[in-house]
Structure 1
């Protein structure tokens, strides 16, 4: 168990690396032009956040931290329906590989560490939400500096309680900071899929934009920020810093760890996978699907 409040999380130190020669990532497609890095998340069939993607994000964000020429990072999805479906149910098998970067997050868990990297990048981080983000995917959205969603296809949910657990990648703390306690409790315990307009009303995302306009809108705001005079982004991020959420993140981890160690979550995950979860059909109706699974345990 990680325990109670500790010092603020320290981010991994990175030597300056030529980002023109980024490695080939198996789960990310990266294109950098005019100071904007566009990162497409790609783990078929439904874009689950697995150990490989976590390691790829850790590596990429570390490299970009040392690149003064990249001013904005835009995250999008390679999947038409899902931005990030949720953390992959096979993530426990990836724990040995994730040990390689665990040392970089001495005060939070590795999943929370990815969110903390997003929150503390020197660049502005923007999510373009043109599909569904649930659970770990919703945590990723909330960790970014800004998020803009398609008003028709953009949807978001913090749905871990349907497995008998709580968010474990920063979701309780990121949402609490953005939406307040009452709305956080509604999202976490209600486990409903929010449409983009409601998510914007709650402060979970910046705003909803018509789907047909989303690409152009995000490209415009990212390009305008990247074109600002040197030092402006850096100054703004110092003047409007990400809050130190280490204490709350530690409590979240401890509660997640307590719950996930029980028998019920493992049974629900196994039955859900046996019935086809992490394929497109069941993922479309994730909340109802998991409620039916829970009723059969």
Structure 2
């Protein structure tokens, strides 16, 4: 097993790896998370044996959660040598990775974490434990990491608007119905489904698997220029007065109600914080 501070890479079979994300207590995604996940992608991409990679969480009740608001300046400052935002580089490299990425989703998946999740090739969700949310509009900003670009293609215009403009939590059943996840299954069946899917894909010829993925990517993925534009619009939105007014309200709510309760029901509390700002 290869260990990064937030990610553990386990060899499940010669062609299959499992990457477990753990950033307790609630698996927020920060600049440090992005850098480490890129390192994980480098490691996996350089191993020609790897054909399927399962991504799961080691933090109960949370998959990949929203961005760490305390690290937003650091996230915005991360850019490559050619000026590409590092976040855009991360999600585009995930979709073009030389393996099939499979998300095993148990727990809350929101904001920036949802944008990483949407970049995985396949997404299987626990019917009882998975939850999804786009909280940005409720706190006065816009999505920046590809959430709008990908959800519009997966859900259609109206359902993408509903998901993003209401900032409400969405359960796994509706996520499956709308096409937000590949499939939602009873929690007791999730591991078997994910493992069987990874094993089946790993049993096929890698050139055929990656060739088919490239064809589907060409037909379905948002242009990188659109992802860059969304990131720039997100960067602008964090300077808006509405967001600046809501951040202290969010801090006050966490102090009064508790981080655990806020995170468990973020869709609900984001709406209340909006009313108080």
Give the TM-score, by structure 1 length: 0.85
State the Cα deviation string for residues 203-230 of structure 1 (Å, max 9, x = none): 1111111111001110110111112124
Higher helix share: 2
Q: Unaligned 5+ residue runs, structure 2?
A: none
Measured after TM superposition, the shift of residue 169 of structure 1 is: 0.7
**Structure 2 counterpart of 1:129, from 90, 93, 105:** 105
Structure 1 position 276, deviation (Å): 1.7
Aligned to 1:25: 4
* Structure 1 moving runs of 4+ over 6 Å: none
Is the contact made by 1:81 and 1:131 (CA closer than 8 Å) also made in structure 2?
Answer: yes
Q: Does the 8 Å CA contact 1:112/1:168 hold for their aligned counterparts?
A: no
1:209 maps to: 185
Do the aligned partners of residues 135 and 186 (structure 1) sit closer, same or farther apart at CA in structure 2, a change above 3 Å counting?
Answer: same
Q: Distance in 1 between matches of 2:145 and 2:6?
A: 19
Distance in 1 between residues matched to 2:16 and 2:33, nearest whole Å: 21
**Residue among 263, 272, 294 paired with 2:250:** 272
Q: Secondary structure at the match of 2:225?
A: helix
Q: CA deviation at 1:119?
A: 0.8
Question: 8 Å contact 2:54–2:104 — kept in the other structure?
Answer: yes
Aligned ranges for residues 18-97 of structure 1 at < 5 Å?
A: 22=2, 24-34=3-13, 35-95=15-75
1:51-88 deviation per Cα after TM superposition (whole angstroms, max 9, x unaligned): 11111101110221121111111111111211122011
**Shift in alpha-carbon separation, 1:95–1:210, aligned structure 2, 3 A:** closer
Q: Distance in 2 between matches of 1:225 and 1:187?
A: 31
CA gap of 1:244–1:191, structure 2 versus 1, over 3 A, is closer
How many pairs does the alignment contain?
A: 272
- The answer (yes or no) to whether the contact 1:105–1:113 under 8 Å persists in 2 is no
Distance 1:115 1:105, change over 3 A: farther
More displaced, 26-35 or 144-153? 26-35
Q: Give the C-alpha shift of residue 105 in structure 1.
A: 6.6
Residue 253 of structure 1, CA deviation: 2.1
Tell me, yes or no, if the aligned pair for 2:88 and 2:227 is still in contact at 8 Å.
yes
Task: State how far apart, in whole Å, the 1-side matches of 2:112 and 2:72 are.
Answer: 14
RMSD: 2.0
Secondary structure, counterpart of 2:63 in structure 1 = strand
d(CA) in 2 for partners of 1:262 and 1:197?
Answer: 35
Separation in 2, partners of 1:262, 1:291: 18
Instruction: Say which SS state the counterpart of residue 111 (structure 1) adopts.
Output: helix
Question: What residue number does 1:5 align with?
Answer: none
Report if aligned partners of 1:72, 1:125 keep a CA contact under 8 Å in 2. yes
Task: Name 2:80's counterpart in structure 1.
Answer: 103
Aligned with residue 224 of structure 1, among 184, 200, 203:
200
Q: Secondary structure at the match of 2:151?
A: helix
Q: CA deviation digits over 1:249-273, x for unaligned, max 9?
A: 2332232222211122123123212
2:135 aligns with 159
